[in-house]
Amino acid sequence: MKLYGIPNCNTVKKARTWLSEHGIDLPFHDFKKQGISEELLKSWLKEVGRDKLVNRQGTTWRQLTDDAKAAVGDDAGAIRLMLEKPSVIKRPVLEKDGKITLGFDEAVYQSLFGIK
């Protein structure tokens, strides 16, 4: 199990706080400091697809040029963008039991960790 994201992201902060409050200690992988591998991105894309993995609602996406946005039309382009600008990845990414969950939803986390 591992949580991926950027520490100053509000959604990541909510997830980390929730995990801490429920006594769940997970390793945290900071995209900005530790980077992300192409292999990991490929496996995530296979599981959830680029429409979910690439965060088109965030500031990073809005600041991209139209050409950069258009380049995300296939998985190779999405991977290039996520490697170059990891803050465009939907976060947090929770990896548990070989599956990933994107974003933070308390009900989903409660279900994943068997907490009522």
Active site members: 9
What are the residue ranges of helices labelled H in 4-115?
Answer: 10-21, 31-34, 38-48, 50-53, 59-62, 66-70, 75-84, 106-113
* Euclidean distance between CA atoms 101 and 78, whole angstroms: 18
Backbone angles phi, psi at 96, to 5 degrees: -145, 130
Burial class of residue 17, CB neighbours in 10 A (0-12, 13-18, 19+): exposed
Q: Six-digit token pair at 43? A: 């496996």
